[in-house]
Structure 1
Amino acid sequence: MTQAEKNWTGNIHLGSKVDIDVVLMQLCKAFNKSPFFQHNGMTMRVVDDQIEAYIEMQPFMIGNVAFQILHGGVAATILDSVGGIVAMGELYKKANPDDLPETIKKVSRLATVDMRVDYLAPGRGQSFTARAETLRLGRKGCTMRMTLVNNENKPIATAIASYAY
């Protein structure tokens, strides 16, 4: 496994005990190094033992100029991203030490298969936060539900996505 792959999968070393707090921080660190996330100012962070995505509104994120609201693609991107990273964390949480090599493979292969986004309200706000919850975690894939809220905690969008690994 290359150093880039190790970083992306949480920098977990075989034979070591998985400290889930360290794993979640490492996953966030890996995502936050992504050039795309850096370009958009999106960050992953651990809050209350859970990974969440955070982004501040920027002029280049406006999708509807007349109403000055967040572009739906930005909302979908942050929802998809938080769903994927939380799924990775959940895989590590359920891993037995003997299963760690297989878990690392799953995390490195995790990819979005399908996602449905429901836009609940115009994307108005100074910042946006997204969280995810696991609906199903199986052997070959998982289903996640994600919610995006603005800085006033108003729900902006929700999504359900399937990820394969």
Structure 2
Amino acid sequence: MNDAVKKWTGELNLGEKVEINAVVEKLCQAFNSSPFFQHNAMQMRVVDGQLQAYVAMQPHLIGNMQYQILHGGSTATMLDSVGGIVAMAELYKRATKENFEQVSMQVARVATLDIRVDYLKPGRGQYFIATAEALRMGRKGCTMRMNMVNDQDKLIATAIASYAY
């Protein structure tokens, strides 16, 4: 296994079949070890089989001091990040033992081409959770839909993004 593959997956024993849960956990670990994610206390996690981006409200994430609401850039970052990691997971779901290394090379190249964020409500809350779903998975790219809710399960923002790989 080459170094690019190991960066995302570690030393997984693939056996006869790609174990997607183990791969997704490794993806979460890779994102969570990012200095940017650590600085902003953002984390990727799996809850009830669904990938989520999570962040607790903190003073350095506030964009509007008067109203104490989450900065729009923090919102967009979480939506973009969860869209990207779910795209990676979707690629791995299609992987076989034979093409795992090739798929891992695609995963290593995932990049945002375009994102549109709709801010629906002010970002108020104790914490925020972003999720994503694949709308289309193609040979060289995909389209994802993402949602962010607050601790009261109110929809704060939604986004659609295109990713290349």
TM-score bracket, normalised by the shorter chain, equals: over 0.9
- The residue that corresponds to 1:101 in the other structure is 101
Task: Confirm or deny: 8 A CA contact 1:12 1:23 kept in the other structure.
Answer: no
- In 1, distance between residues paired with 2:162 and 2:22? 26
Would the alpha carbon gap of residues 8 and 122 (structure 1) be closer, same or farther in structure 2, given more than 3 Å must change? Answer: farther
Would the alpha carbon gap of residues 129 and 8 (structure 1) be closer, same or farther in structure 2, given more than 3 Å must change? Answer: farther
- What 5-or-longer segments of structure 2 have no aligned partner? none
Task: Confirm or deny: 8 A CA contact 1:12 1:18 kept in the other structure.
Answer: no
Aligned ranges for residues 33-52 of structure 1 at < 5 Å? Answer: 33-52=33-52
Aligned ranges for residues 83-162 of structure 1 at < 5 Å? Answer: 83-162=83-162
- The residue that corresponds to 1:10 in the other structure is 9
| Percent of aligned pairs with the same amino acid | 60
Greater mean alpha carbon deviation, residues 123-132 or residues 100-109: 100-109
- In 2, distance between residues paired with 1:64 and 1:150? 17
- What 5-or-longer segments of structure 1 have no aligned partner? none
Would the alpha carbon gap of residues 99 and 14 (structure 1) be closer, same or farther in structure 2, given more than 3 Å must change? Answer: farther
> TM-score of the superposition, structure 2-length normalised?
0.94
Can you list the C-alpha shifts for 1:56-86, whole angstroms capped at 9, x where unaligned?
A: 0001111011111000000000000000001
Which SS does the other structure have where 1:98 is aligned?
A: coil
- The residue that corresponds to 2:21 in the other structure is 21
Provide the alpha-carbon RMSD of the alignment.
1.5
- The residue that corresponds to 2:74 in the other structure is 74
Alpha-carbon offset, residue 96 of structure 1: 2.5
> TM-score of the superposition, structure 1-length normalised?
0.94
Alpha-carbon offset, residue 13 of structure 1: 5.0
